[in-house]
Structure formats: C-alpha cells, structure tokens
Amino acid sequence: MSILVVGSVALDDVETPFGAVKGALGGSAVHFSAAASLFGPVQVVGVVGEDYPLEELDFLRERDVDLSGVETARGDSFRWAGRYSHELGAPETLETHLGVFADFRPRIPPAFRAPEILFLGNIDPELQLQVLDQVERPPLVACDTMNFWIEGSREPLMQLLSRVDVVMVNEGEVRQLADEPNLVRAARWILERGPRRVVVKKGEHGALMLDDGGVFFVPGYPLEEVFDPTGAGDAFAGGFLGALAGGELEHPGRLRRAMVLGSVTGSLAVEEFSVSRLARTERAEVAARAREFRRMTHFELEEARPTAAAGGEQAHD
C-alpha cells in the first residue's frame, strides 16, 4: 500500500535574510514526497515543462517514490519567486509563472487508483474533486487549500470538504474559511461540514489537531537556524501522513505520534533551502528528533512525594 499525492511540481526562486536560490526544486508534491518517502512508498501525479531538471528528483526515486505519474508537457514549468522578511512569516510573492501548470488536468494512472492514503495538494478544488472521481475511495483522504481558493472557489471547496477525512490549513485559512476569528470554533465549523479532523498548521508555533475526541497540540521544534520556510507545511503533511501509512488510521495514539513526526519533518525542511535538508535526512535522524520532542514536552502531573520511610527519617531528624 502507498500514498498518492497530487499537486504542483515547480521551480522556486527564494530570497530570505540568510541567502537566496534560483530554480530550486519546489511545489507541494515535491516537498510532500521528500518527507513522506522517509516512511514508505509514494506515488506522484503532476506536470512539468520541458525545462524541468527531472534528474534532480533522483533522490526521490531512490526512496521508492514513483514519478511515472508526472507528465512532461510542451512549455515552461511552473515557477514561483518569493521573498521572506526576518520574521519568516508569509512571503512576499515577487513573480508567479504558471506555465504548463495552467492547463494541468490530473490523470491518475491505473496503477495509482487504489492508494491507502490520498493527499490532495494545494491546487484548484475543482481539480481535487476530479482526482477523487478517478480513484477508488481511499481509507484516508487529506487535502490542503489556500486563501486564493477559499475566496475564489468556495462552492467546489465546500463540496470537497464533504468528501475528505482530514483538512490541513494554516491559522489564517481556517479563520477565513469559517469566517470565525476563534481558532477552535473555526475548526469545529469545518468538522461540521464533513471531515473527521482538522489539522491547523501554526508554523514555528507547532500545530493543532481537532476532532470529536478533542484537541491535541504539538509544539514547533526549537531551531537555532531557519533558512527557508517554503514548503514546510507540505513537509509537515508528508511526515504526518507518512507516519500513518501501513497501520490503523484512526488509532488516537498513532494520530498523535503522526502529529509529532509531521512537526519533525517540517522542522528539518526549513533548515536548508528547497528540499536539500530532507533529501539527505535518514529515518534514524527523524526518530532521534522525535525522541527529543518527547523529552522536551514530557512532565509529571504531580510532584513526586517522598516514601513513608524517607518521610519518617526526615521528621525524626
């Protein structure tokens, strides 16, 4: 069983206070696959232009990522250019050239039509619905979206919500979608529209998972150096869904563990530009950082009390 991701495969020009790159590997499907492939096989559907350096994706192939669903169309690849300030929050978009992505219509190969987990990357919700129409209903369907689609494609987005299990959005998007300033109430509003859970990505401040069982929060991993936040949310999604693959998808403990591993892969992603850091990450390193999460967040609810014998000796003294 594997994970199928349908999303953008792009080239990015990124500027941050710590440097800049041009023509770097980018796109939701690439960042997601770089993280999810640390846990198991991934299948990718997307489109690139004739200018795309497909050989730079060899590290994904070596991790059992099937790129046969990525078609090469005549024209230029999707390119995005953005600049981050010192706060490393939402970037300023400098340029967007859709190229062949403007005419992208996902075609799911027959071998990809029965995934265990389907991740619908941040693309037009009408295209996300087209993907759902081409596959057997997976045990778990997760989707991402953005403010552009929330504002301009609300009707198909609402249709999508009724057909997915997990919605993954950032703080601004969940509030915009529900038209509700309170984060928890906004997530509850989305749950009422069909999904079983909502994951709210809070960047360096971690992530929340809300479902009928309550709220679970995982902090962001404290980093001394952050070079490039681009794709961190997709890397989080890749770690989260990759950790769930091959097991019980609704087990509360596994879902909480998946949240931690999503935060781990997201934290690794931002330590270098593009997918460079995830490309050289090994599973043992992911496990080690997850143990650090546990060490940093574990506490006892009550203070340890001295034994009766110890207490008696202290009283006698």
Domains of the chain: 3-316 (3.40.1190.20)
Residue 310 has pLDDT above 80, yes or no: no
Residues 171-214 have pLDDT tens digits of 999 999 999 999 999 999 999 999 999 999 998 889 999 999 89
> What residues are paired with 48 via a beta bridge?
72
* Total residue length of the chain: 317
Residues 202-259 have pLDDT tens digits of 988 899 999 998 999 999 888 888 889 999 999 999 999 999 999 999 999 999 999 9
Confidence (pTM)? 0.92
Any residues with CB less than 8 A from the CB of 55 and at least 6 apart, and which?
none
Quick one: residue 72, left, alpha or beta (phi over 0 = left, psi -120 to 50 = alpha)? beta
